Amino acid sequence: MRRFQRFPFGGVLLATGLALQGSATTFGQATSGDLDGNHEVSLSDVTGFVSCLTGPDDPSNNPACIAAVFDADDDVDLRDVAAFQNRFGLGVGPPRIDRFSPTPGTWIVDDIGLTQIQVGFTEPVVVPDGSIDVWVVSRLSVNGGDVTNFTTSYDDQTFMLMVAFAEPLKDDRITIVVDYSIEDLGGNPLDGEIYNPQNAVLPSGNGVSGGQGVFRIHVLQGDANRDGIVDMFDLKLINEAIGVCSADPGFDPRADLNSDGCVDAADENFVTAALDHQLTATDGMPLSVESIAASGDFGRLDTVRVRFIERVNGSRINARSCFIVKDDRTVIVPMFGVQSGTGFSAVYTFVPELPSCDGLTINVSNSLTDLTGELLVAPYLEHCP
């Protein structure tokens, strides 16, 4: 996999998810920035530009990369990216999540289960170890529900991250957390907020760096009506649709459990084999923040206490689930986060302490859950109290 070089040029980045200012720039001859040869510079040139970021490299090895050289050093690096942006007005902003597979809101009801996840970004990113967290609700009472038997790989041409599980995940409520330790090539943290993990709308974010992308996927073999239990109602749905294919009137895609285009005996067998299986029950009441308090000696800030309306699952509290954003959009991450003695609060400690609360916004991730696995209703932010 190609590795990108990083240069300290002050937050300049390649943001493919944002539009060029004004219309595309057109030229009569091949010109710097016109990597697809169509005599204009637009977002379609970005993919070609990224493919040339092999530096140090002689662009004569790939004639198309000559258009990506903006300085005099004859290789293609991030300084050329900065010049590309400055010349053609490419917008600036933090990276965001713009693709996710399986499609958000989809239930997996076949007999295979969840074998992989794909997460796409709006621009090139650096994906450090530990930036993906996966856990399941059924194991909340055992080691916090963590799933660790997976590998990750990143495609620097499509900006797509793949998470592949060693064994398929089945019959569970699966949560994927994409952390803001993922950054673009300019060091800007992911703008990852998802406002409905069970039916995510993309792209992610609130327009400011920082924020975890939280996705929940339901996997239950044979659950045709997607109610979390495999029973006679699922068999009834299959039997009413059996023999009908996608081109026929009355086709019910819910009954096509293996997505082969027809409802047949195979789908019926999936239900029969899974009768009485069900997802671990939650209390149906999303976790919610009751209050946030910031404190420190002599007006400084070193502690943020987040209190919830019910007991929070301590195994999901960590230093990444709460962070502070300054007015200049700098992201500050606490040293650690722990559950309070009563179980109703998460306490985050910032080292070194911050001089004051002025100009700070406290952000709480919706990766946090109650004791039954219900996620925080939405990412929560509050100006420093």
Q: Exposed, middle or buried by CB within 10 Å (0-12, 13-18, 19+), for 207? A: exposed
DSSP assignment string, 17-76: TSPBSSSPEE-SS--TT--SSSSEESGGGHHHHHHT---S--GGGSGGGGGG--SSSSS-
* pLDDT for residue 3: 32
Structure tokens at 29: 């001859």
CA atoms within 13 A on the CB side of 373: 23
Q: Exposed, middle or buried by CB within 10 Å (0-12, 13-18, 19+), for 159? A: buried
Q: What is the full per-residue pLDDT of the chain (385 aa) written as tens digits? A: 333 333 222 222 333 333 333 333 333 334 556 666 666 655 556 666 666 765 554 555 666 677 666 666 667 766 666 666 555 544 457 999 999 999 999 999 999 999 999 999 998 999 999 999 999 998 776 556 899 999 999 998 899 999 999 999 999 999 999 999 999 888 899 999 999 999 999 999 998 999 999 999 999 999 999 999 999 999 999 999 999 999 999 999 999 999 999 999 999 999 999 999 999 999 999 999 999 999 988 889 999 999 999 999 999 999 999 999 999 889 999 999 999 989 999 999 999 999 999 999 999 999 999 999 999 989 999 998 7
The fold of 232-274 is Type 1 dockerin domain (1.10.1330)
DSSP assignment string, 101-128: ESPTT-EE-SSS-EEEEEEEESS-EE--
Q: How far apart are CA 234 and CA 273, in angstroms?
A: 12
Q: How far apart are CA 325 and CA 379, in angstroms?
A: 14
* pLDDT for residue 46: 63
Give residue for tokens 């998802």: 194
Stated pTM of the model:
0.77
232-274 and 289-383 agree in CATH topology? no
Question: Collapsing DSSP states into helix, strand and coil, what is residue 96?
Answer: strand
Give the right CATH number for 97-219 from 3.30.565.10, 3.20.190.10, 2.40.50.140, 2.60.40.1220.
2.60.40.1220
Closest residue by Cα to residue 370 from 301, 295, 285: 285
Other Cβ atoms closer than 10 A to 273: 12
**Domain 289-383, CATH:** 2.60.40.1220
Classify each residue of 214-253 as buried b or exposed e, where b means 16 or more C-beta atoms within 10 Å of its C-beta.
bbbbbbbbbbbbeebbbbeebbebbeebeebeeeeeeeee
Contact criterion met (CB below 8 Å) for 43 and 84? no
Number of H helices, E strands in the chain: 4, 21
Question: Collapsing DSSP states into helix, strand and coil, what is residue 193?
Answer: coil
CA atoms within 13 A on the CB side of 279: 27
Which sequence spans correspond to the domains of the chain?
1-92, 97-219, 232-274, 289-383
The model's pLDDT over 58-109, given as tens digits with 9 standing for 90+, comes to: 555 666 677 666 666 667 766 666 666 555 544 457 999 999 999 999 999 9
Structure tokens at 54: 């092999």
